[in-house]
Structure 1
Amino acid sequence: MIPGQKALLQLNRRTHTKFIGGSRFKNRREAFDAGVHRTTQAGIAGQAAGTQSICLSAGYSDDETDGDLITYTGFGGRDASTGKHIADQQLVQGNLGLVENYNLGRPVRVLVKLSVLSGNSSDTEYLYLGLFEVVSWSWGFRDGWKVLVYQLCVLGNQSLVPEEVAFSLARGEELPALRKSASVTRLVRNSAVARSVKKLYADTCQMCGLQLRTAAGTYSEAAHIRPLGIPHRGPDSLSNLLCLCPNCHTQFDGHALTVAPDGTVLKFDVPVGQLTVDDRHRLDFDQLEYQREISTGNTEQP
């Protein structure tokens, strides 16, 4: 565990124990004093080494919620008066910290302004949604400039969002009173599909050809090409999966490795090999092209 990681985890756990999902704060100062979001202005409370919390406010129309899933846009690159993007966002400070959270599996606290949920500008209180994990990050394109797009899922796939809130978010309804039960949208992966792609390639990496052997047998990982859930909405199917070694999987999810339409494996746009594709694997190359685009910021999110 790197320096500061243990303290960050302990702080998140203590804060979440004290303020469970659904706790309300009358303003950002109250949430700051409670230790839920330790900044009264910025949407990201964090540094390059790690981000502690984020706050969803009315500033970004691109931010989206879907039950226990959140799409969050990074900071920077916008004109303060018009809200229009005037420069590329950079992987620095809290933006880079969210990527570190993703790499190290660190949780992040999520605070949201009630007006974001209800659409009513008079709802000025803030709601603590709970602990979330960063499950993917990528580049998007806004107003002609590159932006960072993060996907967050409630920690451990156990809903910390009040069910009535999640139901409203998924349907775009106004926020109801917090007392009725309802269904919640959750991201569910099909483990059988993941096992099938690994079996098809006998745990051999499609990018580098490595077959890892351990005392318990061979090992590989199933990598989704187009990420599941919002904003990407990739299918959990064999056509959207690759069999990769842990090293290539990390570089693929980290947008260092991409695949050209002819199957050439690229590392930061430099050819490093050829993708192996079994005849029985009906791989969707459109998904690979999508992954290339979000790795370089050349596409709008749907």
Structure 2
Amino acid sequence: MAEIQFGQIIGIGEGQIFKDRKALAAAGIHRPLQAGIDGNKKDGSSSIVLNGGYVDDEDLGNVIIYTGHGGNDPNTKRQVADQSWDSSGNRGLLISEMHGLPVRITRGAGHKSKYSPSNGYKYDGLYLVTQHFYEIGKDGFRICRFRLEKLSSISPLPLDINESLESYGASETSRIPTTILRIARDTKLSRKIKEVYDYTCQVCGIRISFNGIGYAEAAHIRPLGNPHNGKDLSNNLLCLCPNHHVMFDKGAFTINEDHSLSGVEGRLFIKPGRHAIDTENLVYHNKHIFNING
């Protein structure tokens, strides 16, 4: 099976129809020929096919309440056992939620929805997993549920979130719309920085996790885009918890050249040999972003 790919598949348009699952796999939209979730416990889930596999699925178009994997009788389509967050597909969707990875949605003719095609399979764009929760399903068993919301603004720029934005060069960084930066907010580079610190905040040392899956945010020291023109490079990135990410972006604190902190107590944690910070970015943040009167 080909390597898992997240985000847009270049050359595939929203609304495109595919004859069968083999055609979906050949196009790179959805690799498995039977499973409804394309993903694993390590990388996350990149794609879902809706084709009537679970009676509890709810399709509202731009919002989908999706029933996770497991406990389903493939012949009757009924639930016969409880589901678990630890099954491969469900854990993959949890990772996609925690890491902000977009999920491709394809609807099949077997999916009872007004948004489904009359024949074959229709690719319907990118969604984000925004919530997960347990529920007792229609058949009386516990099911894992996921809320997915459609990403409505997709840039024509062929951005591949599996690669760093570095590949576009410094001159291109400011041209990438902020909507796409949010869509592709977990690029290969930012995810690497988080993995270096095991999703632990470099300021407070807190690690947020659910079911062992870490959550942190990659913060740019010198912001991208005009007027700051920071670069999407590892030496301009930090691994922070949500609180310290917002505080840093809004100038509530800054990092000095010796990695001491101003505005909050403590010192920035750095892993020698695995992460280096460009001092010029720290100077820029201190001068232009830090609210000295705050």
TM-score by length of 1: 0.47
TM-score by length of 2: 0.48
Normalized per residue, the structure richer in helix is 1
Larger radius of gyration: 2
